[in-house]
Structure 1
Amino acid sequence: MENRVINAAILGAGTVGGGVYKLAQAMEEDIFHKTGARLVIKKMLVRNVNKERKGIPSEILTDDWNSIINDPEIDIIVELMGGITPAKKYVIEALNAGKQVVTANKDLLAEYGEEVMSAAEKSGNDLQFEAAVAGAIPIIRPLKQSMAGNHITEVMGIVNGTTNYILTKMTEKGMDYADALAEATELGYAEADPTADVEGYDAGRKIAIMASIAFNSRVTFSQVYTEGITKISADDIRYAKEFGYVIKLLGVARNVDGQIEVKVHPMLIDENHPLATVKDAFNAVFVHGDAMDDAMFMGRGAGEMPTASAVMGDIIDVMRDIVCDCCGRIGCSCYKKLYVKKIEETKSKFFLRIKAKDKTGVLANIASVLGNNDVSIAQVVQKRRNSGVAELVIITDEVEEKNFNDAMAIFEGMSVISEIAGVIRVH
């Protein structure tokens, strides 16, 4: 065993790829003792082999995929390129060639998970992807293994650090959205184009992956309702606080009577809920199972070393399987085919902020429209009055989304309503 060597190739030498290489060198002896084999990063696939990469020897850099896939000494492919093309092609080719695969590619898994998992199953190889969701937080392996003795009914989480940072600053410092986004960008939490984060797409891909595992039924990104935080205002934050709530961008997946609800949107959550205390760029995932009750996982959801930590955990797991000759032992968990509801088929409570003409009978008219559409009011407060316009803040009981939307459509045509200033779901 002392001389056993397992060779790996890393696809991509960016932030995470560089972090994984550094971690592999720093943990060389630990990896041996944990697995019974030596890990050697034999090659790293890059676009430009002439670009200097600090800490990575130039002799292992290559721009030739064929030199990796056709190398019989390479046992593990670590895909850290991101995106669909050419990552999908490389992952499937690697599995078909008998390589074990570790990936952090949420885009690939959320959209083509069934295809790549099928390739892994047919080849009898490992496909590990802990780093695809929530960075350093262990959630994929617990869902697949530690919680396998449960029927999981809900997975809910803050799985995007950029939006959580923005909402934290809006809550704690009273900043408006644009200023909080600018600060997040300056600190490196937000990309130059933050669309994937602030519109909920990044979180949507992650909740699709978690829902697929938790409910043992395939959920793709296209089935996830997504709504971002760009319309959240300082007023929404302030009023939510008055009602005892905090606003978070949440990914929510539920198994309700054998049907799946899966969505990403801003949500008012009770200030005493564990997720309400998760601040700045931290992530957290809250899981409910019938046997275990509630569990929460919290930590760094992104970044060079937190993500590299999750990748390295997968590499070590794969190395153990290679040494014990038991690769492919935990494959795709999607053995059911459950219906995924459309958003209008689900139920929610709503926080509704309306600016209406300040005159007798307006509140009664609003209440009548809601009542006629089976939308029951739990709380209503009249806030500021200004130039003949009053601001009403309403929290509803749980209602059918379709019924609520029908009421909103009627409000749009009412002359006494100046503006529907805010609509946010309530946990």
Structure 2
Amino acid sequence: MAEPLKVALAGLGTVGGGVIRLIDANRALIERRAGRPIEIVAVSARDRGKDRGVDISRFQWVDDMTALGELSGADVVVELIGGSDGPALTLARNTLKSGKAFVTANKAMIAHHGVDLARLADEKDIPLKFEAAVAGGIPVIKGLREGAAANEIMRVYGILNGTCNYILTTMEKDGRDFAEVLAEAQALGYAESDPSFDIDGVDAAHKLSILASLAFGSELDFAGVAATGIRHVIAADIFEAAQLGFRVRLVGVAEANGGGLFQRVHPCLVPISHPLAHVAGSLNAVVAEGNFVGRLFFQGAGAGDGPTASAVVADLIDVARNEYGPAFAMPVASLAQPGRADAGERTGRCYIRLVVEDRTGVLAEIATAMRDAAVSIESFIQRGVTEDGDAVIALVTHECPERNVADALQRLSGSTSLIGAPMLMHILDF
């Protein structure tokens, strides 16, 4: 029998415990598929005495998790600590410099430092694997890096954050407002006590930047992702979207063309006819469009101990088989630097919601701002007033350059009639 692949595991939280349970439960099957046993030999975490529901006494305990990369007797290190810097990054660098394979579920670290880590992996000709970093158990990274490798990818987009999708689809189902549904999601454990990374679009932006690099063969540019979250979506937006034949989803979109790389995470109106409109609850979904393969649609659980552990162990099976290639589908030296596209040049339709004083002349003021910015209005809706007596106005534009819409909203920004900031959502039209 071939020698086992010996694994050192850093991080024994929900996913770390899931990895141990998965290897225990499917040991024989994993060995047959990997061609040799996969054995955890060492673990490390912040608290040695914590009860994690799995027996860790059988593994070597290492107090300094950053030293796992230099541990003799380990072939591969799995990092499940989290965080873009700190111990996770130190461990990643130590592991790769030591010539050991590295597997991680850490999207923040890959989004910020993935190119530098991939460069180390290229120099040592060793695996750097991160399937679990994007969309949990959905094999979308493998799908882009391997299954669609012969295609030019024109666009990659999708629902990349389960917390936001749960909140939006619950608002849609129950007709409740954002704050109430968020509080419920926190009570149920679907949202963190500080949910900012999720609801402000940062988590989805990390994942989108990774997908964009894989899809377009470009260097990671997390800083180039324009991210807007869902905290300002109200029940009236969900209702109006439904009346117009849409559903509201937080969608990450990336495209690359002669104008550069475009990356944006933004709440969108998705047509009922589009598959993303039917992705409900905490599920994730990713769409990639290739010039020969056409539309690829990946859907499944985007988080949780089981799905994420499944992706981690799938990476370990690849390492055991010695099946790996460059982390971003091509050597770092071959990755393009396309520059950033000007979002103002993009054309499309938009949904705009305004809360204004309910008085004569306000509609004319809005119409004038739109006219002066060369924005044509397709529909203009007012359905009553808020509890404070203010009017809620929703309008949909005809297709026009995005800079025109930005100009119209800038013209309205100084209006004394406007209550709070407008809500802008682009309409998904592909």
Q: TM-score, normalised by structure 1?
A: 0.92
- Give 3-state SS (helix, strand or coil) of 1:299's partner: strand
Q: Name the % identity.
A: 37
**What residue in structure 2 maps to residue 169 of structure 1?**
170
Residues in 1 aligned to 2:360 and 2:11: alpha-carbon distance in whole angstroms:
65
1:330 to partner: Cα distance? 5.9
Residues in 2 aligned to 1:417 and 1:48: alpha-carbon distance in whole angstroms:
52
1:220 to partner: Cα distance? 2.4
1:357 to partner: Cα distance? 5.9
Residues in 1 aligned to 2:241 and 2:267: alpha-carbon distance in whole angstroms:
12
**What residue in structure 2 maps to residue 42 of structure 1?**
41
**What residue in structure 1 maps to residue 219 of structure 2?**
218
1:391 to partner: Cα distance? 4.2
**RMSD across aligned C-alpha pairs, in angstroms?**
2.2
- Give 3-state SS (helix, strand or coil) of 2:280's partner: coil
- Give 3-state SS (helix, strand or coil) of 1:268's partner: strand
Map residues 398-413 of structure 1 onto 2, 5 A cutoff: 398-413=399-414
**What residue in structure 2 maps to residue 133 of structure 1?**
134
Native 8 Å contact 2:66 2:87 kept in 1: no
Greater Cα shift, 416-425 or 332-341: 416-425
Q: TM-score, normalised by structure 2?
A: 0.92
Native 8 Å contact 2:251 2:267 kept in 1: yes
1:130 to partner: Cα distance? 0.4
Map residues 16-415 of structure 1 onto 2, 5 A cutoff: 16-60=15-59, 61-65=61-65, 68-83=68-83, 84-321=85-322, 328=325, 332-333=329-330, 335-341=335-341, 343-344=343-344, 346-356=346-356, 362-384=362-384, 391-415=392-416
Residues in 2 aligned to 1:11 and 1:417: alpha-carbon distance in whole angstroms:
51
1:101–1:176 Cα change, 3 Å: same
- Give 3-state SS (helix, strand or coil) of 2:164's partner: helix
Greater Cα shift, 386-395 or 290-299: 386-395
1:184 to partner: Cα distance? 0.9
1:368 to partner: Cα distance? 3.0
Aligned AA (2:77): I
Native 8 Å contact 1:52 1:58 kept in 2: no
| 1:246-299 Cα shifts (integer Å, max 9, x gaps) | 001111111243521101111111011100000011111111111112121110
Greater Cα shift, 9-18 or 361-370: 361-370
1:81 to partner: Cα distance? 0.8
Aligned AA (1:29): A
1:70–1:388 Cα change, 3 Å: closer
Residues in 1 aligned to 2:33 and 2:105: alpha-carbon distance in whole angstroms:
22
1:391–1:184 Cα change, 3 Å: closer
Residues in 1 aligned to 2:26 and 2:88: alpha-carbon distance in whole angstroms:
27
Native 8 Å contact 2:249 2:277 kept in 1: yes
Aligned AA (1:372): D
Greater Cα shift, 125-134 or 177-186: 177-186
Aligned AA (1:42): V
1:331–1:73 Cα change, 3 Å: farther
Residues in 2 aligned to 1:400 and 1:50: alpha-carbon distance in whole angstroms:
58
- Give 3-state SS (helix, strand or coil) of 1:166's partner: helix
Residues in 1 aligned to 2:66 and 2:197: alpha-carbon distance in whole angstroms:
32
- Give 3-state SS (helix, strand or coil) of 2:40's partner: strand
Aligned AA (1:43): A
Residues in 2 aligned to 1:261 and 1:142: alpha-carbon distance in whole angstroms:
21
1:390 to partner: Cα distance? 5.0
Residues in 1 aligned to 2:89 and 2:142: alpha-carbon distance in whole angstroms:
22
Residues in 1 aligned to 2:325 and 2:72: alpha-carbon distance in whole angstroms:
19
1:421 to partner: Cα distance? 4.8
Residues in 2 aligned to 1:338 and 1:27: alpha-carbon distance in whole angstroms:
43
| 1:325-357 Cα shifts (integer Å, max 9, x gaps) | x65566553621111235445444221123456
1:419 to partner: Cα distance? 5.8
Native 8 Å contact 1:117 1:332 kept in 2: no
- Give 3-state SS (helix, strand or coil) of 1:137's partner: coil
| 1:96-132 Cα shifts (integer Å, max 9, x gaps) | 1110111111011101111101010011000110000
Native 8 Å contact 1:223 1:340 kept in 2: yes
Aligned AA (2:49): N
Residues in 1 aligned to 2:383 and 2:52: alpha-carbon distance in whole angstroms:
57
| 1:32-73 Cα shifts (integer Å, max 9, x gaps) | 211221111000112232334322232422213476333332
Structure 1 gaps of 5+ residues are: none
Greater Cα shift, 374-383 or 301-310: 374-383
Greater Cα shift, 334-343 or 81-90: 334-343
Q: Number of matched residues?
A: 422
Aligned AA (1:5): P
Greater Cα shift, 15-24 or 256-265: 256-265
**What residue in structure 1 maps to residue 10 of structure 2?**
11
- Give 3-state SS (helix, strand or coil) of 2:110's partner: helix
